[in-house]
Amino acid sequence: MELLSGSHRLSNILVVLAPSGKMASQLMAIEAEKGNSRPLLKLPQLDLAFYDIEMKTWRQVCQIDFPITGVMLEKHSWRMAFWNDCVYLFSVHKASALEFRLSDRQWHHLDGEKLFMDHNDCPVKSVVPIVVGSRLIVLSMSRKLMPCRSFYTVQNFYELNPTLKTFTLVASVKNSHLDEPITKWTVNGDTLITVKASSMMLKKFISVQFVNIYNAETRSSDAFEIDCTIESGVNVLTKGDILFLLDKEGWCRSYDLKTSTGLGFSRHPECKIVGSMKALFADDVYPALTRVTCQAGSSRWEITTNKTAVNACVKENYVDDENKIKVLFHPNPPFQFMTAMCPGQMQRQHLDQFGFPIFNFVDNRMLNFSITNRD
């Protein structure tokens, strides 16, 4: 959706971080000789790129020197958001909140200590920045195993003050889960929708229990209970007041968010995920991932590749005007591997200033990255 008019309108984009050529050349340089697949990265460097959804073109932004030195491991679990022409990265393991401003290409450490503190005696397991309407909301989630073997969870919603660069607690939601909790989310305008579920049968299925709805404009929250069992890996989409839960087999359950009632089932065979696809990205090495995803309202985005492919695949699942879920493929990204992806918006006049990228190619035999120029 395009907002405003002329060159000042906001265009929807995908924001992608990928291993830079310099950083990637260090991957496996030492550990490959020892048969260890864990790379050693002393000074992480990443490439930042935008995908212009309207024009269906990729834009190269800049190369980023990561401000935290040392090994960049998957357990750091950096979560990304793009807001007001800034990239935000949060890590529970590092207990760090970072802001990268495009205006001056500088990093800033945010005072986000409260985001990572235990919720009473519940340890925080995930901190996720999410742009909701015109605000940046940070979802701080904790869980605790109870004596009855169920899980007690807390979701704290924090809002970033763009001037003071401080975080304010604006809402909190508490739930109880039958087994290990799973959270999925998406955004619909000013509303953040989180679907809370519990894992079942060795994590092959999930039992969806709650839908929490937070309005960033009014700072109000609501919730309702649902009871359905879905294969693990469910995708969450919204269109208007309808919530869609799409599983790997292409079956979709829909719910009316206003009335909190179920609307039935529908089948979308083109959205079925082939089981063998998982094996293609099961052995990826962070921060050179072979699969990244993000969602925004009626669209869910996925970029996948593997170590033998040259080009990655960009797929969009979206809800059309007839509330049917469709699949659309987009131009390949300029990277063979990715680190993170999130949705965003940028003024058209600023977006058009960025040039077109040069493709980064990886020597798959040794996972020793090099840069190959391709027209």
The answer to whether residue 359 sits within a structural domain is: no
Residue 296 bridge partners (DSSP): 299
- Structure confidence at residue 148 (pLDDT): 79
Residue 219 pLDDT greater than 70, yes or no: yes
Least confident of 175-179, 243-247, 321-325: 175-179
The answer to whether residue 158 sits within a structural domain is: yes
Residue 338 pLDDT greater than 70, yes or no: yes
The mean of the pLDDT values for the chain is: 84
pLDDT digits (tens, 9 = 90+) for 247-269: 888 889 999 999 999 999 888 87
Least confident of 95-104, 107-116, 305-314, 366-375: 366-375
Residue 279 pLDDT greater than 60, yes or no: no
pLDDT digits (tens, 9 = 90+) for 95-125: 999 999 999 999 999 999 999 999 888 899 9
- Here the tokens at position 91 are 């890590």
The answer to whether residue 358 sits within a structural domain is: no
- Here the tokens at position 364 are 């798959």
pLDDT digits (tens, 9 = 90+) for 145-178: 888 777 888 999 999 999 999 999 999 998 887 6
How many Cα atoms are found within 13 Å in the side-chain-facing hemisphere of 254? 19
The answer to whether residue 1 sits within a structural domain is: no
Neighbouring CB atoms inside 10 A of 232's CB total: 16
The answer to whether residue 88 sits within a structural domain is: yes
Residues present in the chain in total: 375
- Can you list the positions of beta strands (E) in 146-270? 151-160, 167-177, 181-188, 191-200, 205-215, 220-231, 235-239, 242-246, 251-256, 261-267
The answer to whether residue 64 sits within a structural domain is: yes
CATH of the domain at 270: 2.120.10.80
Domain of 108, in residue numbers:
10-352
- Structure confidence at residue 124 (pLDDT): 93
Task: Tell me the pLDDT band of 37, cut-offs 50, 70 and 90.
Answer: low
Mean pLDDT of 18-47: 64
- Structure confidence at residue 145 (pLDDT): 81
The answer to whether residue 300 sits within a structural domain is: yes
The answer to whether residue 363 sits within a structural domain is: no
Task: Tell me the pLDDT band of 372, cut-offs 50, 70 and 90.
Answer: very low
SS3 labels along 120-143: CCECEEEEEEEEECCEEEEEEEEE
The tally of domains found in the chain comes to: 1
- Structure confidence at residue 175 (pLDDT): 82
DSSP per-residue letters across 301-347: EEEE--TT-SS-EEEEEEE-TTS-EEEEEEPPPSBSSBSEEEEEEEE
Mean pLDDT of 42-56: 89
- The three-state secondary structure class of 372 is coil
Question: For the chain, what percent of residues have pLDDT higher than 90?
Answer: 52
The model's pTM is 0.88
- The three-state secondary structure class of 286 is coil
Residue 332 bridge partners (DSSP): none
Cα distance between residue 154 and residue 196, in whole Å: 11
Least confident of 10-19, 173-182, 185-194, 348-357: 173-182
- Here the tokens at position 256 are 């009316």
- Structure confidence at residue 368 (pLDDT): 40
Instruction: Answer for the pair 305, 313: CB distance below 8 angstroms, yes or no.
Output: yes
